[in-house]
Amino acid sequence: MCGIAGQLGGAEDAPVETMIRALTHRGPDGVRLETMAGAALAHARLSIIDLEGGWQPLHAAGGTVIGNGEIYNYVELARDFGLSTATGSDFEPLLHLYAREGEAAFDRLRGMYALCLIGPDGRSWLARDPFGIKPLYIMEHDGGLAFASEPRAFFAAGLMRKVLDEGAARELIDLNYVLGERTPFLGLRRLAPGEVVEVRDGRIVSGHRRSPLLPRPADDGGGGSARQRRDGGGAKPQTPSSPLHAPSIAHRVARDPALPRRTPALFGAGEERGLLAQLDAVLEDSVRVHQRSDVPYGLFLSGGIDSAAIATLMSRLNERPVTAFTCGFDAPGAKDERAQAEKVARALNLDWRETAFGEADFWRILPEVAWVLDDPTADYAVLPTYKLAEAAKGTLTVVLTGEGGDELFGGYGRYRRALRPRLLGGRPAEPRGARPEVLAAWREQARAPLGLTALQSAQWADAVTWLPNDLLLKLDRCLMAQGLEGRTPFLDRDVAAFAWPLADRFKVRGGYGKWLLRKWLERACPAADPWAKKQGFTVPVEAWIAPRAGDIRSGLGKVDAVRRLGGPGDTALWPWLFFGIWALIHLEDAAPADALRAVVGEI
């Protein structure tokens, strides 16, 4: 896990050195910078794997790579392809594979990554993992193409001016995040999840491609027709044509006589017992590779079933008690899941540690988080996530979390509402209260491929909008600010290849989402109480804001960016409060404490 920055075409090391210095919070263990013909590459390292030999830029097989994230299947790639590697770095096998296969090598990666690779053939590539777990930002300018892990790097180097994209800001207010490749800054865009682009002479070559997020319904991995998926029809094995079409652990177990036959063939005509065994094998394998680390690792444990599932498997795979951190809220009437988390922790013999979040934390952390989120999300869950990262710093370096469980296994209540008839309260699983132009942009971004069920379409929408631009952005920034690496075992190509083609009835049944996952957890960790009503992760921000509402409205009226958007009117104050403080920090260069004081007054 690191920060990367660079320039391709007409490279100069001075701007790139300034860029990487702005990202040292992402890589506190040291900075390396190299300049070569037509490129300057820089890397700020958080040492996770091969502490001595894993420094980047990394050179092997005539190529060079810098990357942010982890390639989890680096051991298997080296073994299966007979690669002779000089280091234990998880990125080195990619260089050897590229020397053999060219750009097809990117399709073999299982992990979270944002990277720049310059091959022995002289071709330069930028790539981002299919789920968008790790960020990468790019801009073309007269001197070439610059890229970095966070927007702040471009401004630190003077490569662009801070000009607000007002359309993006309206998306932030209405949705809590900005859609697609857009950022709040004109002239700067995100590399899209799964995007793989070639750069020549400082410009992106047309015809670039994207690794598919999920198996398409027309592929062998699509699970048959929409009716088959609803009714439990079997799915055909994946074909190894993309990251999510590579054979999963369960497929390998099903057909390879050299491997222990732990599960039956995929779906086994839809039988529950076979699916539960399949799920166990797939999740255990994902957690096992996500634990690969040469530094201490643990997890964030809420009272929900996703983190409980990760905790259950980590407990199974580790001889020593796994360290788990839980955050609860000290506020009247707040939903607090600490008691349930402790129950799970005791059952699994975890080294459980709790931290509390109160009103004082809210006002202290708010401006700090606004600084961290130079690409913003106004999701108030960023606040306890940041507090958890603060608590884990110094004890852990790698943290496993439960992001992605709802999107892959059908957990959100909005999915169930989307499946009900309108007369019974059904409604589309799309944002409510958004302005027409914002809702239209969301619908365009969320449009699912043809042939999906209504449930799959809703899952797809979340996977391409809310997941990368809210949940994963939040996780990346809040943990990286504390020098921690966040890992998401649910968001794994093999887990997705198993979960996506599941029939709807194995995701939603009897008023419950994540039905199959709950059924598995019922056996694997009964203390998780998987059939209990979910409390939800609700931060009582409005209660903390209400006593200062008058001061906040007055302060917001003095923020230029807020005035240009028309101000909060009689709408909820939280997104406007966050945006006002964010705008003062990132558009007007205010210090975080000064930005809070300008909007709220003295705390």
Helix (H) or strand (E) holding 198: strand 195-200
Distance CA 240, CA 242 (A): 6
The third-level CATH classification (topology) of the domain covering 2-210 is: Glutamine Phosphoribosylpyrophosphate, subunit 1, domain 1 (3.60.20)
191, 126 in Cβ contact below 8 A?
A: yes
Is residue 249's pLDDT more than 70?
Answer: no
Cα torsion 49, 52, 57, 58: sign: negative
Nearest to residue 568, comparing CAs of 553, 582, 590?
A: 553
Neighbours of 81 (CB within 10 A): 14
Distance CA 503, CA 499 (A): 9
Mind listing the pLDDT tens digit for each residue in 38-57?
A: 999 999 999 999 999 999 99
Residue-averaged pLDDT of the chain: 89
Structure token digits, residue 267 = 């779906």
Question: Under DSSP, is residue 105 helix (H, G, I), strand (E, B) or coil?
Answer: helix
Is residue 401's pLDDT more than 50?
Answer: yes
Structure token digits, residue 287 = 């957690």
283, 250 in Cβ contact below 8 A?
A: no
Is residue 252's pLDDT more than 70?
Answer: no
Beta strands in 374-475 (DSSP E): 398-400
Is residue 223's pLDDT more than 50?
Answer: no
Is residue 239's pLDDT more than 70?
Answer: no
Structure token digits, residue 181 = 């490749």
Can you give the pLDDT at residue 143? 84
The DSSP letter of residue 511 is T
What is the pLDDT confidence band of residue 1, given thresholds at 50, 70 and 90? low
Can you give the pLDDT at residue 242? 32
151, 476 in Cβ contact below 8 A?
A: no
Distance CA 378, CA 171 (A): 10
Can you give the pLDDT at residue 269? 42
Can you give the pLDDT at residue 260? 30
CA atoms within 13 A on the CB side of 306: 24
Rg (CA), the chain: 23
Is residue 225's pLDDT more than 70?
Answer: no
Write the secondary structure of 150-177 as one string of H (helix), E (strand) and C (coil): CCHHHHHCCCCCCCECHHHHHHHHHHCC
Largest CA distance in the chain: 71
Is residue 204's pLDDT more than 60?
Answer: yes
More confident residue, 570 or 63: 63
Question: In the chain, what are the domain boundaries?
Answer: 2-210, 220-528, 541-600
Fold match between 2-210 and 220-528? no
- For residues 199, 39, 67, 119, the Cα torsion angle rounded to the nearest 10 degrees is 60
CATH of segment(s) 220-528? 3.40.50.620
Can you give the pLDDT at residue 479? 98
Is residue 352's pLDDT more than 70?
Answer: yes
In terms of Cβ atoms closer than 10 Å to its own Cβ (0-12, 13-18, 19+), residue 394 is exposed
Can you give the pLDDT at residue 268? 44
Mean pLDDT (whole number) for 451-456: 94
What is the pTM assigned to this prediction? 0.91
